[in-house]
Amino acid sequence: MIRTHALTFAYPHSATLQFPDVDVPQGAVLLLKGASGCGKSTWLALVAGLVRPAAGQLVVAGQDLNALISVAADAWRASAVGFLPQKLHLSAALTVTQNLQVAQWAAGRAQDAPAIAAALAALGVADLASRKPAQLSGGQAQRVALARAVLQKPQVILADEPTASLDDEAALDAVHLLLSTAQAQQATLVIATHDARVAALLEPALPAAMQLQRLQLQRPV
Amino acid sequence: MKTVSLAWTYLWSRPLSAALNLLLLSLGLASITFLLLVSEQLSKAFERDLQGIDVVVGAKGSPMQLILSGVFHIDVPPGNVPLKAVQELKKHPMVAQVIPISLGDSLHSFRIVGTSTDYISHYQAQLAQGQLWTQPMQVVLGATAAHKLGLVMGQTFVGTHGLAEGGHVHGDSVYTVVGILAPSGSVLDRLILTDTASVWKVHEDYTAVDDEDRQIMIDEREVTMALVRYRSPLAAVSFPRHINTSTEMQAAAPALEITRLLSMLGLGTDVLRAFAGVLLLTAGLSVFIALWSAVRERRGDLALLRMLGAPPRKVAALLLLEALWLGLLAAVLGVLAGQGMTAALAWLLQLDNSLLIGGMAWPAGLWGVPAVALGVSLVAAILPALGAYRVSVLELLQGK
């Protein structure tokens, strides 16, 4: 779940960003829309506990983020938030398996080979485990990155522009994949995008059990 | 996955850059190791051969030449001194022991040294086979000399005139091997030792035309120099002055001359050390540039590590460890290469029958080499690690 109230964030020497309140229950989908520069990234960073709000309340996965100090926020983020970045940032030097091992390393967890195998298998990329990212297609790489995001079974999955630079067919695949993964994990899914196709693709694909909310961000005045 | 193994993987993800930096660092460290070892081994070799010799008395000329020729046997002597004058030395109240040294002949560039058996006991050398000489024309071989010349007990040989190869062969004067010394690590290893009288005999037999002539030669017998040990250290103040002013000979203090020699060599090693320092500085800079560009290149990857829950210090530690791996590898390779270069030098010098430099050694100063390696790589990694520490995840999210 994600709940915000009167959330604001202030960049130095810049206008203060004010975010509309949201109350997304556990297991729901939030479509975060807005043109670039209106604060999508900032909102994601706030929800991931990477930056602190100037004011307002922010509760994510049952945790009041204002109450976390930075090191605790890192540990909390490792277990509660899964992140699928726009550029996937799979490390080119490492194999698919090693890229997932890095996620466990970053989270400060012991190496857990069965968990990695299971995460890869759930996304249908188990047979690519020993490949390097350069040997993957775009779709395969996105599946690996998603496997990395959900490896720690997070309660919140943040997907940043998951359909950018994908054609229509691949975009549909990506949306399906995100929805099915979130549903399987019973995680709250946030899709941040300025891609108008996503909204159109999302509604027919949405499972009956999942609730859809929208958050439209406006450029600050 | 452990941080150390992850750092290792990242290091070798750019193999060419890693190998080049490793090479640069290792070269700098190898030069330092080499310099350390050679100066250590040189002073050790000098110290070993100098022990207990307070002053060397010989013909006037360069004091350093006297020491180099008479103590270390790596130079030709300045000339000879009358036997009678050396015998006078023994009567001096400040003198505890006089060991005569007569040079002149050699066998395949191994020097035949006419001396007394005191010379052997001075270096506490032990016989491996046979016995000491009891009469002229019997020789005791140093271990290296025996091995290299392939001489065995009871074998005979004739010497050649001069200290280098190709001199006149003293055909009528035949030496017999009566003893072979065990290796002692001292200068004795590469000498052929015999009684002082042998040297006179060889040359008198060769030049004397009749008995009268021979008698004149006996009266004018010479030795090349004398190694002198004092009764008391106080003698160092007055004895050399006494020799230098009131006799036709000169007294040279080995400790003094060697200090002078080492300080002359020291100028050379200072230059080499400066070169090694420049090499290390270059290596450090190169490591810095490599890590810095790695941080820039992997900015997104590093930010993602933060996103995945790694605290900043963990991301910075990854960079530091990458540099430390490089330093550690370079230290191992550098020390090995330095030891190898020293061993090669020792081998070359030993081919030359010159100074003996020992094989593998680990003087205390050598611990400085791995310390320098880790220090250089750590310093080079500070700024990149700081960059990694401060990497902004917000920038990653904003696609910058």
Residues of B in contact with A148 (CB under 8 A): 308
Q: Calculate how close chain B gets to A43, using CA atoms only, in Å.
A: 10
Does residue A79 belong to the interface with chain B, where contact is any CB pair within 8 Å? Answer: yes
Is the CB of B13 less than 8 angstroms away from the CB of A78?
Answer: no
- Across B167-177, average pLDDT: 79
Q: Calculate how close chain A gets to B371, using CA atoms only, in Å.
A: 29
Residues of A in contact with B310 (CB under 8 A): 74, 78, 105-108
Residues of B in contact with A94 (CB under 8 A): 9, 13
Q: Calculate how close chain B gets to A169, using CA atoms only, in Å.
A: 24
In chain A, the residue whose alpha carbon lies closest to the alpha carbon of B396 is A85
Of B295, B297, B393, B397, which to mutate for an interface test with A (greatest number of A Cβ within 10 Å)?
A: B397
Is the CB of B1 less than 8 angstroms away from the CB of A102?
Answer: yes
Give the pLDDT score at B264: 82
**Which pLDDT tens digit goes with each residue over A99-153?**
999 999 999 988 899 999 999 999 999 999 999 999 999 889 999 999 999 999 9
Residues of B in contact with A152 (CB under 8 A): 309
The answer, yes or no, to whether residue A182 has pLDDT greater than 60, is yes
**Which pLDDT tens digit goes with each residue over B148-161?**
899 999 999 988 88
| Crossing angle for the helix pair B299-307 and B254-297, to the nearest 10 degrees | 70
Is the CB of B305 less than 8 angstroms away from the CB of A106?
Answer: yes
- CA atoms of B134 and B55, how far apart (whole Å): 28
Does residue A105 belong to the interface with chain B, where contact is any CB pair within 8 Å? Answer: yes
Beta bridge partners of B179: B130, B140
Residue from the list A44, A74, A89 with its beta carbon closest to the beta carbon of B309: A74
Of B304, B325, B391, B400, which to mutate for an interface test with A (greatest number of A Cβ within 10 Å)?
A: B304
Residues in CB range of B22: below 8 A, 6 or more apart: B326, B329, B330, B333
The answer, yes or no, to whether residue B1 has pLDDT greater than 70, is no
The answer, yes or no, to whether residue A221 has pLDDT greater than 70, is no
The pLDDT-based confidence of B315 (bands split at 50, 70, 90) is: very high
Q: Residue A87 phi/psi, 5° resolution?
A: -85, 125
Interface of A with B in 161-220 (CB under 8 A): none
The label of the residue with tokens 């030709």 reads B76
The pLDDT-based confidence of B166 (bands split at 50, 70, 90) is: low
Is the CB of A93 less than 8 angstroms away from the CB of B305?
Answer: no
The pLDDT-based confidence of B392 (bands split at 50, 70, 90) is: confident
> Considering chain B, what percentage of its residues have pLDDT values greater than 90?
32
Does residue A34 belong to the interface with chain B, where contact is any CB pair within 8 Å? Answer: no
The pLDDT-based confidence of B48 (bands split at 50, 70, 90) is: confident
**What is the SS3 string spanning B191-220?**
EEEEEHHHHHHHHHHHHCCCHHHHHHHHHC
The answer, yes or no, to whether residue B349 has pLDDT greater than 80, is no
Does residue A157 belong to the interface with chain B, where contact is any CB pair within 8 Å? Answer: no
DSSP, res B51:
T
Give the H/E segment covering residue B16: helix B15-50
Interface of B with A in 258-277 (CB under 8 A): none
On the CB side of A164, CA atoms within 13 Å amount to 15
Between A188 and A39, name the one with better pLDDT.
Answer: A188
Beta bridge partners of A189: A29, A157
The answer, yes or no, to whether residue B400 has pLDDT greater than 60, is no
B303, two tokens: 């930010």
**Which pLDDT tens digit goes with each residue over B268-293?**
778 878 888 888 888 888 889 888 88
On average, the pLDDT of chain B sits at: 86
What count of other Cβ atoms lies within 10 Å of the Cβ of residue B65? 18
**What is the SS3 string spanning chain A?**
CEEEEEEEEECCCCCEEEECCEEECCCCEEEEECCCCCCHHHHHHHHCCCCCCCEEEEEECCEEHHHCCHHHHHHHHHHHEEEECCCCCCCCCCCHHHHHHHHHHHCCCCCCHHHHHHHHHHCCCHHHCCCCHHHCCHHHHHHHHHHHHCCCCCCEEEEECCCCCCCHHHHHHHHHHHHHHHHHHCCEEEEEECCHHHHHHHHHHCCCCCCEEEEECCCCC
Is the CB of A93 less than 8 angstroms away from the CB of B9?
Answer: yes
- CA atoms of B116 and B87, how far apart (whole Å): 13
Domains identified in chain A and CATH numbers: 2-216 (3.40.50.300)
Query: Can you tell me the ipTM of this complex?
Result: 0.90
Beta bridge partners of B64: none
Sheet holding A29-33, edge to edge: A81-84, A156-160, A188-193, A29-33, A212-216
Give the pLDDT score at B296: 85
Length of chain A: 221
**Which pLDDT tens digit goes with each residue over A70-84?**
778 899 999 999 999
B340, two tokens: 């190898």
- Torsion sign over Cα B36, B38, B39, B40: positive
Strands A2-10 and A55-60: antiparallel
In three-state secondary structure terms, B274 is: helix
In chain B, the residue whose alpha carbon lies closest to the alpha carbon of A108 is B310
- CA atoms of B335 and B371, how far apart (whole Å): 12
Q: Which whole-number Å values give the CA distances from A9 to A3, A40, A158, B307, B339, in the listed order?
A: 16, 12, 19, 19, 62
The answer, yes or no, to whether residue B356 has pLDDT greater than 60, is no
- CA atoms of B73 and A98, how far apart (whole Å): 64
The answer, yes or no, to whether residue B353 has pLDDT greater than 60, is no
Is the CB of A86 less than 8 angstroms away from the CB of B9?
Answer: no
The answer, yes or no, to whether residue B172 has pLDDT greater than 80, is no
Does residue B23 belong to the interface with chain A, where contact is any CB pair within 8 Å? Answer: no
B270, two tokens: 């200072």
In chain B, the residue whose alpha carbon lies closest to the alpha carbon of A103 is B308
**Which pLDDT tens digit goes with each residue over B218-264?**
888 889 999 999 998 888 888 999 999 988 899 999 888 888 888 88
Q: Which whole-number Å values give the CA distances from B360 to A147, B348, B365, in the listed order?
A: 54, 15, 14
Is the CB of A45 less than 8 angstroms away from the CB of B393?
Answer: yes
**Which pLDDT tens digit goes with each residue over B193-227?**
999 988 888 877 777 777 787 788 888 888 999 99
Give the pLDDT score at B113: 93
Residues of B in contact with A103 (CB under 8 A): 308
What count of other Cβ atoms lies within 10 Å of the Cβ of residue B5? 14
pTM (two decimals): 0.75
